[in-house]
Amino acid sequence: MRHRFLIGQLSHETNAFSPIRTCLQHFQQRGFLEGPALLEHFTGTHTTLGGFIHAALLQEDELIPSLSASAVPSGLVARDTFAILMQRLEDYLDAASGFDAIFLVLHGAMVAEKIPDAEGYLLERLRRRVGADMPIICTLDYHANVTDRMVENADLLLGLNTYPHVDGWERGAEAHHLAKAILSGAITPANFLVRPPLAPGVVPARTSWGPMEQLMNQALAYEMEPGVINVSAFGGFVYSDIFEAGLSFLATVDRNRERARTIAQKLGREAWRIRHEFQADLKPPRDAVQAALKHPGHPVILADVADNTGGGASGDGTALLAALLEEGARNAAIVTIPDPKAVVEAFAIGVGGTYAGYVGGKIDDQHGPPVWIKGPVRLLSDGRFVYRGPMSTGLTASMGRTAVIETNGIAIIVNEDRFQPVDPEVARSVGIEPLEKKIVVVKSAVHYRASYEPIASKIIEVDGPGLSSPNLERFSFRNLRRPIFPLDCDDFEGRWQDDDG
């Protein structure tokens, strides 16, 4: 049977410690698409919306595209910006008629000014508008801080199962499959959410390693059992600093909330049992550069995990640039340093001219000071590139106008717009082949692994300053519930297990 779906996307991962107030221009810069332009942009891409669209078109369902707005992770979303986004979504809802279900791609860690649980608020407003009988199906990012309000106001929430996030397309297609099953009456989802008092940083919570690999495998094993619709394990995003931030487990079972409760509680208890395994092994910047220089092979990837733009850090941190210069490293590349001022100057100088000035460290005072460099402008670009790795495959993106400046054997990619440079195509698009470099600095916590692990001779995670550092004691949390592991001593075990249901 054919159905009509209203589809949309609203996505922002909010780092409450970032001084960058997230406004409409940030959404417009990254991607603000409405109506047919949304369908055109995402059809055929390896993204969550792309997966849903693909599955829907196969079954000749009709899609009513509404709004897709996403911004690079940064600070709290301005109240008026969030109001505009909500209003646009509701306008589409009001204008459309005769649709059978709503499908939304949400992040789950968006914080707006005065609205800590932005997605919960959004879903509650949509639910009030469309009534209890309209199926609302959403996907959430693996870094969602899942709240009771989200669960109460959606029929089905599917989390991404991977970090690096390489299964968006599959979750989108799965969401379509399950939406059809709900509409046909074949399944009636019953949800249960458990949040153990655990909030690690993002680095120790990747899903191809350690504790989250174990927990994700268990979740997926439960998902294979009869009657179980979905089991999602979420790493959460502690840097949102909301009450509910951290790990969570959401089980969805056909007509059986008790079974969902048992599964979610088992996962929550297992996470608590292995909590000490959430560890990161980081090297200070100069030690990391020395280790890279001693390593016989190449390229050595130095992951600047604390200056991960994708986690809300500025991305223009200079700790590794300074360390490379101090250690005299050659044949290195830095991917990237967002610095609009340096880009404007490089464009004025032109290819072959000499840049002499500061780069980086300009967005805030938490990622190292600006570093003086002098050297030739090697290349100028409009910054457009196409993702070729496992993440966002096929999607065209732009990092803003971009310049490559070389100093002391270090090629520095400076660009206008903050973004997470997860794909080697970023470097290749400006004439730098990572395979040929001794050292490649990548501003990313975990996502870079999807594309760089297969080509890296060695990966070293670096303990620089920054707003996505896994060293949580460096942050002053204000809203996160306490006590919580690893910030507090862990003798509060009994208290949460008594009332986790």
| Binding-residue total with Zn ion (CB under 5 A) | 2
At closest approach, how far in Å is the CB of 360 from Zn ion? 25
449 contributes a contact to Zn ion by CB under 5 A: no
Site string for Zn ion, 142-161 (x = CB under 5 A): -x------------------
Q: What does the block give as tokens for 78?
A: 């301005």
Q: Which is nearer to Zn ion, 141 or 345 (CB)?
A: 141
At closest approach, how far in Å is the CB of 141 from Zn ion? 4
| Residue of this chain nearest to Zn ion (CB atom) | 143
167 contributes a contact to Zn ion by CB under 5 A: no
Q: How many residues does the chain have?
A: 501
Q: Which is nearer to Zn ion, 13 or 174 (CB)?
A: 13
At closest approach, how far in Å is the CB of 247 from Zn ion? 14
At closest approach, how far in Å is the CB of 143 from Zn ion? 4
Q: Which is nearer to Zn ion, 108 or 299 (CB)?
A: 108
d(CA 235, CA 401): 34
Q: What does the block give as tokens for 350?
A: 């032109």
d(CA 303, CA 463): 9
At closest approach, how far in Å is the CB of 42 from Zn ion? 18
Looking at 141-149, 181-189, 222-230, 483-491, which segment touches Zn ion (CB under 5 A)?
A: 141-149
d(CA 18, CA 470): 15
Selected binder of Zn ion within 61, 117, 119, 141 (CB under 5 A)? 141
At closest approach, how far in Å is the CB of 165 from Zn ion? 6
Q: Give the DSSP H/E element, type plus range, for residue 224.
A: none
- State how far Cα 400 lies from the chain centre: 20
**Which residues touch 218 (CB under 8 Å, ≥6 apart)?**
266, 267, 270
Q: Compute the radius of gyration of the chain from its Cα atoms.
A: 23
d(CA 501, CA 428): 50
Q: Which is nearer to Zn ion, 41 or 447 (CB)?
A: 447
54 contributes a contact to Zn ion by CB under 5 A: no
Q: Which is nearer to Zn ion, 143 or 176 (CB)?
A: 143
Q: b/e string for 203-236 if b means 16 or more Cβ within 10 A?
A: bbbbbeebbbebbbebbeebbeeeebbbbbbbbb
d(CA 230, CA 187): 12
Q: Which is nearer to Zn ion, 107 or 367 (CB)?
A: 107
119 contributes a contact to Zn ion by CB under 5 A: no
Binding stretches for Zn ion (CB under 5 A): 141, 143
